[in-house]
Amino acid sequence: MEYQTTLIVLALIFGFYMAWNIGANDVANAMGTSVGSGALTFKRAVILAAIMEFAGAFLVGSHVSDTVRKGIVDPELFAGDPQAFVLGMLSALLAAGLWLQFASYFGWPVSTTHSIIGAIIGFGIVYGGMSAVHWDQVGTIAVSWIISPLMSGIISFIVFQIVLHRVFYKADPVEAVRKFTPYMVFVVLMIMTLVMVFKGLKNLHLDLSLSSALLVSSGVGLIGALLSYVLLRNYKSDDKEEEQQQARELYVARALQRSTKHLLRAQRAADSDTRDTIDSILELTQATTDTSSKRANLGSSRPEFRRTERIFIYLQILTACFIAFAHGANDVANAIGPLSAAVQTAQDGLVAAKATVPLWALLLGGTGIVIGLATYGWKVMETIGKKITELTPSRGFCAQFGAATTIVIASKMALPISTTHTLVGAVLGVGLARGIGAINLTTVRDIIISWVITIPAGAFLAIVIYLTLGLFF
């Protein structure tokens, strides 16, 4: 009994340590865009993360936990040696936690998913060889690591383009964002609510049909949209005439730029006489565009842009809730999956093919994540929020929306994707919408290198720890 208790205590300690490092690294990734753009202070980000991470872990987290716990290493191979399975899960938790703490110290935004899966693969190969690992499952997960940043980048790019054309390129951006906001509030609330209520509240013994879930989520989204409309209906631009003229000149400049693109296409298809005429028009159009651009005084420092970004602060806070919820749903599994497997095996003396994730494990993981963010998350936040590309509330909103949407889709499919990959892909998508020059390629390079190192580092540390634990147990 004392031996069994020792293993359970170690599992709880290592699991909490892993969760703490998830908070320091991965949650910092998730909230870094909000802090970097100025939408949230560090203190408010911690409070918001505490609420939403708990909600995501408790309501949806068990779905992905099954994949991490049972989908990587074949439990049947350990049927005759449950102690080895427990020690393997303990080594995976500690190895992943150590690597994450090392990475967080240097401000590297690495993947906790990579860390834990690499560690599980490491001890699995040591014990049972290559056959101990479900390589088909690993392959599926590996594909998701590639797809997730591409998907989030595309979504973020599209949303940012919509924001630019529906808001910032309008003659009156403040009026445009006032009309645009209710639609985005509806979409965000509807998606977040749908994820929760459609087979996502099993811990509360609530399982709605798709039609019922759509009805409920649409209702929540509609209420949020109506509320935002009421709050913003009297929000007007107080620009002076000069500032209003700047906005109009910006609108003119953008319209002329679009006309230039059409003229260039016509020029390529026209005969020589028509081409000469188009050349003259192009010359005049370009001169007029330059004049309008100078008058517009382009840049985010313009007063009407600042007032517009102020609205996006509230939208980004909404998407910050969204991405924190999504992160809690997906990445809490990286700690509680191996933890629940180790505890149950130590208690029963059997390696079960199926096991439920206990509520206390979800709560322990959520607590560790929040504490890790509060105590050590600022370093990685700085990398994500400031060093990849310049973020404003509007850009941060688009990045968070794209990342969170991708994460919750993966969570419902039981794919433990990397929040780091997803969010970096989303931030890059927003940056690319402004041109390659808006991206700090050196920072991106360093991030990619840290990703490459993470899997072998996790596997190596797990092997060392597994062999070390074997000397004592």
pLDDT digits (tens, 9 = 90+) for 156-183: 999 998 888 888 877 778 888 888 889 9
- 288's tokens: 């007029």
Contact 338, 15 (CB under 8 A): yes
State the pLDDT at residue 51. Answer: 83
Q: Is the pLDDT of residue 62 over 80?
A: no
- 84's tokens: 């080895």
Signed CA dihedral, 130, 134, 140, 144: sign only: negative
Per-residue confidence band for 223, with pLDDT thresholds at 50, 70 and 90: very high
State the pLDDT at residue 300. Answer: 44
- 120 versus 284: the higher-pLDDT residue is 120
Q: For a pLDDT cut of 90, what percent of the chain falls above it?
A: 9
State the pLDDT at residue 298. Answer: 44
Per-residue confidence band for 70, with pLDDT thresholds at 50, 70 and 90: low
- 465 versus 366: the higher-pLDDT residue is 465
As a whole number of angstroms, the distance between CA 152 and CA 159 comes to 10
CA distances from 129 to 4, 118, 133, 226 (A): 27, 15, 8, 58
Residues 6+ apart with CB under 8 A from 91: 119, 122, 123, 462, 463, 465, 466, 469
State the pLDDT at residue 88. Answer: 86
Q: Is the pLDDT of residue 1 over 60?
A: no
Contact 8, 88 (CB under 8 A): no
As a whole number of angstroms, the distance between CA 212 and CA 217 comes to 9
What rounded mean pLDDT belongs to the chain? 78
Cβ neighbours, 10 Å, residue 321: 22
Nearest to 39 by CA among 397, 373, 405, 377: 397
253-264 in b/e form (b: 16+ CB < 10 A) is bbebeeebeebe
State the pLDDT at residue 355. Answer: 56
Nearest to 365 by CA among 9, 23, 117, 45: 23
Q: Is the pLDDT of residue 91 over 90?
A: yes
Read off the pTM.
0.72
Per-residue confidence band for 6, with pLDDT thresholds at 50, 70 and 90: confident
Nearest to 68 by CA among 402, 442, 335: 335
Low-confidence winner among 305-309, 313-317, 400-404 (lowest mean pLDDT): 305-309
Per-residue confidence band for 154, with pLDDT thresholds at 50, 70 and 90: very high
As a whole number of angstroms, the distance between CA 230 and CA 185 comes to 13
- 350 versus 426: the higher-pLDDT residue is 426
Structural domain spans, the chain: 2-172+302-472, 174-236, 243-296
Low-confidence winner among 96-100, 165-169, 329-333 (lowest mean pLDDT): 329-333
- 435 versus 48: the higher-pLDDT residue is 48
Q: Is the pLDDT of residue 228 over 50?
A: yes
What three-state secondary structure class fits 199? coil
State the pLDDT at residue 238. Answer: 53
What three-state secondary structure class fits 128? helix
Per-residue confidence band for 414, with pLDDT thresholds at 50, 70 and 90: low
Per-residue confidence band for 100, with pLDDT thresholds at 50, 70 and 90: very high
- 413's tokens: 């499919």
> How deeply is 182 buried, as exposed, middle or buried, from its count of CB atoms within 10 A (0-12, 13-18, 19+)?
buried
Summarised one tens digit per residue, pLDDT across range 384-402 is 777 788 788 888 888 888 8
Q: Is the pLDDT of residue 92 over 70?
A: yes
Summarised one tens digit per residue, pLDDT across range 432-472 is 877 777 788 888 888 888 888 888 899 899 999 999 988 87
